[in-house]
Amino acid sequence: MTRQTDDEVQKQIYNLILDPSTREWERQILVEAKDNANGLSPKNQLDQLKSELRPLALRHNLTPNVMDFYLTITGERQIDTHDKLIRHYQNDFSYQERAIFAGGCFWCMVEPFDQLPGIIAVISGYAGGSIDHPSYDEVSSQTTGYIESVEIIFDSRQITYQQLLQIYWSLIDPTDEFGQFDDRGENYKPVIFVVNDSQLSLAQNSKMGLIKSKRFKKPIVVEIREVIKFWPAENFHQDFYKKNVHRYRAIKRSRQIFLTLQHTKNAIRRVFKTRV
């Protein structure tokens, strides 16, 4: 490690210690690295820091700036979502629309839409609150009013908003207003955020169709709200299903088991009700 690189690393460590978004246990590790009480060489000091951060990084449990720092000092490759996030800030082109859905943890709401023809980008983020630039920790505190959501930018010539609504209903438990699956709390509740009157009408009709189908014994509790602002989440939350394949598959499997059991029970209930 050259002197210039060492100086840069020390500066990053110092800035992360001062960063208010750094968690206390992360800060403790960084402070110990900065103080270097054992008098380690720069290389050994950096190796020890990598070793201490690695278990947290593998569990995807580092805050965004610390995660970026870890990737920098290890040289590990992180999927770049810069181009995807640019899509959020661009003006919509002809035939381009946006749909915003909340259905529990946004990690599991990306892949089902991302693989479809006509989908331009699926961005994880936050909707429903009022403060600017909310962080993941702030949203998780359930004090901001924000809900984990996905913004789907799509070409309406290839896929319609009605089709996206049908997919959305298949991914969630529409009878659970206190979260979704293992994700509990206000920040995980299911909501359809609409961007215009057309989407409002289509979403209301879609919800009413689900109610009239009597597929569910319990009431359909999914809210339909006008979106005020959608804020993209931090980089390491984007494309989680690509970055953390094994963890994502485990979460996805758990959700699929729940939904399969729920649909089976509801189907059996309807059959017996019809016979009676």
- The strand pair at 230-232 and 119-127 is best described as antiparallel
Residue 165 in contact with residue 121, Cβ under 8 Å?
A: no
CB-facing half-sphere around the CA of 56: CA atoms within 13 A: 19
For residues 199 and 101, give the distance between their C-alpha atoms in angstroms, rounded to a whole number. Answer: 12
d(CA 135, CA 133): 6
**CA distances to 106, 120, 121 from 248, in Å:** 11, 22, 19
- DSSP-based three-state secondary structure for 225: strand
Q: How far apart are CA 211 and CA 51, in angstroms?
A: 53
Catalytic residue among 105, 152, 165, 251: 105
SS (H, E, C) 199-230: HHHHHHHHHHHHHHHCCCCCCCCCEEEECCCE
Q: Supply 84's token pair.
A: 């995807």
Residues contacting residue 199 through CB under 8 Å, at least 6 positions apart: 99, 161
User: What six digits make up the tokens of 42?
Assistant: 């720069």
Active site residue 108: no
Paired tokens of 122: 């699926």
Start-to-end CA span in the chain (Å): 77
Neighbours of 12 (CB within 10 A): 17
Show which residues are catalytic.
105
